[in-house]
Amino acid sequence: MSRIGKISLIHEFCKGKDTVFTWKEVVKDMEQIERIKKMEEYLEISAKAIDELESALGRYEKARVALKELSDYYESPLWLKDFEDDEAGRLPEGLKKGVLSEDGVYDVLTRGHDVTDRMKGIVDASEQRI
């Protein structure tokens, strides 16, 4: 913190008080104020992140059903038939066919597994600290 910042904090701390403080008392109280400000910042960051994570987890929980259906389809003979029909030009033009991209489906399923593993790792790390 700059010298001017420290003087400003001292002024703010002493404002309206009739007591004379020693320099050590002022510095100790300044450190306390800075600590509280820092912890308040951590509280706000944490609360915001938790709110966002709760929202994302809700959407992900719903998507897990879709991921399971997608995985079942991708591993079924139906996917292969649809893929071959697309390759042969038997599907309508303009039809969205990203699901027939081998890499696209594989990448989404792999990312889904990676996210699940990451969440498990976070939970494991949290349990070790408590």
Q: Mean pLDDT, consecutive 10-residue segments, the chain of 130 residues?
A: 62 62 72 88 95 95 93 96 96 95 92 92 82
Residue 116 lies in a domain: yes
* Angle subtended at Cα 118 by Cα 116 and Cα 123, rounded to the nearest 5 degrees: 95
126 plus 85 within the same structural domain: yes
128 found inside a domain: yes
Quick check: is 43 in a domain? yes
* Per-residue pLDDT, 30: 79
Same domain, 48 and 3: yes
Hey, what's the torsion of the CAs at 103, 91, 84, 72, to 10 degrees? 60
Handedness of CA 58, 68, 101, 103 (dihedral sign): positive
Domain presence at residue 80: yes
pLDDT at res. 58: 93
What local confidence, expressed as pLDDT, does residue 11 receive?
62
The answer on 42 and 11 residing in a single domain is yes
Specify the pLDDT at position 110.
Answer: 94
**Three-state DSSP class for residue 69:** helix
As for how many domains the chain has, the answer is: 2
Do 82 and 46 belong to one domain?
no
Phi/psi of residue 94, nearest 5 degrees: 85, -10
Q: Do 80 and 54 have their domain in common?
A: no
50 and 100, same structural domain? no
Range of the domain at 126: 76-130
- Say whether both 3 and 37 belong to one domain: yes
Distance CA 41, CA 130 (A): 22
Q: Note whether 52 and 9 are same-domain residues.
A: yes
Please tell me the predicted confidence (pLDDT) of residue 24: 72
Q: Residue 64 domain-assigned?
A: no
Structural domain contains residue 99: yes
Q: What is the pLDDT, as a whole number, of residue 12?
A: 63
